[in-house]
């Protein structure tokens, strides 16, 4: 199947990971069908356009659609390789139970068209054991096929787990150049998946078992969450003590073995703010540090909100500019965004005094409806707002010169406007007291 002839590939889920992955595989010459439940996503892609913001993705998708290598559909079709890249949300309650319904729904649909010799790869971030669960589900639906690991005989199909580990904003570069962990249900499955990834990955591909690969992905994001929590906890301690956390971190990082990350308004996005819970859910007694890091990063969001409220209340005649809604700089992704949480909470409390600037959005999200808050451009906010709350370190905000923001009372949650020096420190002290 995977010799000189290019395999046909079905990528299930055309979101932030699925669409770039589909486009890269198509770019390597494999005919790709992209499956998505949304008709409008499918129509957009079939026009050679894209529905998400990602560096260089528009040109790549346009090219592969035009060359007939990528097309999208709301129906899964028989293919040689299936790559599953659907979301795995978690329950927002005490239990934080991972939601596997989309993964299992994808597996059910794939089972209906599965043929001997096919390869299924799960890329969605998943709790340990999910790939085996997919195998068991398919085994129940297709008793005519021998599934890997459940029989001593050689299997009819291969199943592997290969997590994506790309950074939004650098997805195309990282999809090609990052190393990959490829976990097979059996070593043979891993080898099949390895041969597939070698078609388009330039980084090193390391094979392992499916459970280790699942845990590796969760560990990577939990590691980052714990490190950001350290920075965020430091910033709350510094606020309490009236210290400039950016100055302390800058100096501490001059130690050759210290590299503290940057505090912010909390941790957002669909990965780092979510994945650690999959570990906590799997081993609640043991995952104490990982759970605490999640709690610290969530607490930072509420800490920022409380300080923002205090600042806005201290300037009752001023309009309030909230700069940024995205979960991090220079992207349009608002999922699990602490900036969005803070801005929406301020909008609900202070109504039409609140002006929101988000260069990557054309409308405000639904929770702003009926608050009276408005989406304005950066120039308008700089001209009309006496209070500015910087929530996202977008390049366009970073570039605002001192003269254009000197008039306002500032709360810079990202530490990008430290040129204010004394004035910023004075405000910090005032808020701390
Ligand atoms: N953040 C800080 N301070 C920092 C770094 C980040 O507050 O010093 C915040 C960001 O503002 C953002 C959040 O953390 O709200 C996450 O941003 P990020 O840039 O660290 O990571 P993501 O969520 O965009 O992508 C992560 C990456 N994982 C790691 O770096 C270990 C990426 O490689 C994964 O592929 C991605 O999660 C994923 O899909 O799982």
Token pair of 14 as six digits: 């055309």
Residue 192 in contact with ligand 1 by CB distance below 6 A: no
For residue 389, the cross-strand partners are 322, 411
**Which one is predicted more confidently, 297 or 429?**
297
pLDDT of residue 90: 79
Residue located nearest, by CA, to atom 28 of ligand 1: 221
Residue 261 in contact with ligand 1 by CB distance below 6 A: yes
Q: CA distances (Å), 368 to each of 80, 93, 334, 349, in order?
A: 45, 23, 13, 11
Residue 272 in contact with ligand 1 by CB distance below 6 A: yes
Nearest-atom index, ligand 1, CA of 265: 7
Q: What is the pLDDT of residues 4-44, one digit of tens each?
A: 689 999 999 999 999 999 999 999 999 999 999 999 999 99
Q: What is the pLDDT of residues 299-340, one digit of tens each?
A: 999 999 999 999 999 999 999 999 999 999 998 889 899 999
Residue located nearest, by CA, to atom 4 of ligand 1: 262
Residues 6+ apart with CB under 8 A from 114: 120, 138, 142, 145, 157
Nearest-atom index, ligand 1, CA of 174: 33
Q: Per-residue b/e over 216-247, b at no fewer than 16 CB within 10 Å?
A: bbbebbbebbbebbebbbbbbebbeeebbbbe
Token pair of 374 as six digits: 């408005």
Which of 426, 427, 356, 349 shows the shortest CA–CA distance to 391? 356
Candidate of 53, 55, 224 to mutate for ligand 1, largest count of ligand atoms within 8 Å of Cβ = 224
Residue located nearest, by CA, to atom 10 of ligand 1: 328
- Averaged over 243-270, what is the pLDDT? 97
In order of their start, the domains of the chain are: 9-203 (3.40.50.720), 220-430 (3.40.50.720)
Q: What is the pLDDT of residues 372-400, one digit of tens each?
A: 999 999 999 999 999 999 999 999 999 99
CA of 102 to the centre of ligand 1 (A): 23
Which of 384, 432, 388, 433 shows the shortest CA–CA distance to 414? 388
Q: What is the pLDDT of residues 75-114, one digit of tens each?
A: 999 999 999 999 998 777 777 888 899 999 999 999 999 9
Q: Per-residue b/e over 332-357, b at no fewer than 16 CB within 10 Å?
A: bbbbbbbbbbbbbbbbeebeebbbbb
């Amino acid at each position: 199947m995977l010799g000189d002839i290019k395999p046909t590939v079905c990528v299930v889920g055309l979101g932030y990971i699925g669409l770039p992955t589909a486009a890269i595989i198509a770019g390597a010459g494999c005919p790709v069908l992209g499956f998505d439940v949304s008709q409008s996503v499918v129509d957009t892609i079939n026009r050679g356009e894209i529905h998400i913001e990602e560096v260089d993705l528009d040109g790549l998708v346009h090219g592969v659609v035009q060359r007939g290598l990528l097309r999208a559909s709301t129906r899964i079709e028989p293919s040689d390789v299936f790559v599953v890249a659907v979301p795995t949300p978690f329950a927002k309650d005490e239990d934080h139970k991972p939601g596997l319904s989309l993964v299992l729904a994808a597996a059910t649909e794939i089972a209906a068209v599965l043929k001997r010799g096919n390869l299924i790869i799960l890329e969605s971030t998943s709790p340990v054991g999910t790939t085996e669960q997919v195998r068991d589900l398919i085994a129940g639906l297709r008793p005519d096929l021998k599934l890997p690991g459940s029989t001593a005989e050689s299997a009819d199909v291969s199943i592997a787990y290969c997590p994506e580990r790309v950074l939004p904003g650098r997805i195309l570069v990282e999809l090609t150049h990052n190393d990959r962990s490829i976990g097979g249900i059996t070593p043979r499955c891993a080898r099949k998946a390895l041969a597939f990834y070698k078609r388009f990955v330039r980084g090193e591909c390391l094979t392992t078992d499916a459970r280790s690969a699942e845990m590796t992905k969760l560990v990577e994001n939990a590691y980052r969450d714990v490190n950001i929590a350290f920075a965020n906890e430091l910033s709350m301690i510094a606020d309490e003590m009236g210290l400039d956390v950016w100055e302390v971190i800058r100096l501490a990082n001059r130690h050759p073995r210290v590299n503290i990350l940057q505090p912010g308004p909390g941790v957002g996005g669909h990965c780092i703010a979510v994945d650690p819970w999959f570990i906590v859910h799997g081993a609640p007694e043991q995952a104490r540090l990982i759970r605490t890091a999640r709690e610290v990063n969530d607490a930072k969001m509420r800490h920022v909100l409380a300080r923002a409220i205090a600042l806005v209340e201290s300037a009752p005649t001023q309009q309030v500019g909230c700069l940024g809604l995205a979960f991090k700089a220079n992207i349009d992704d608002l999922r699990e965004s602490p900036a969005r949480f803070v801005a929406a909470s301020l909008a609900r409390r202070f109504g039409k005094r609140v002006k929101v600037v988000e260069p990557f959005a054309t409308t405000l999200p639904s929770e702003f409806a009926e608050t009276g808050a408005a989406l304005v451009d950066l120039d308008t906010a700089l001209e009309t707002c006496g209070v500015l709350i910087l929530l996202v370190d977008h390049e366009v905000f970073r570039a605002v010169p001192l003269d254009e923001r000197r008039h306002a009372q500032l709360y810079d949650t990202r530490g990008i406007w430290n040129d204010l020096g004394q004035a910023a420190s004075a405000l910090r002290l005032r808020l701390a007291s």
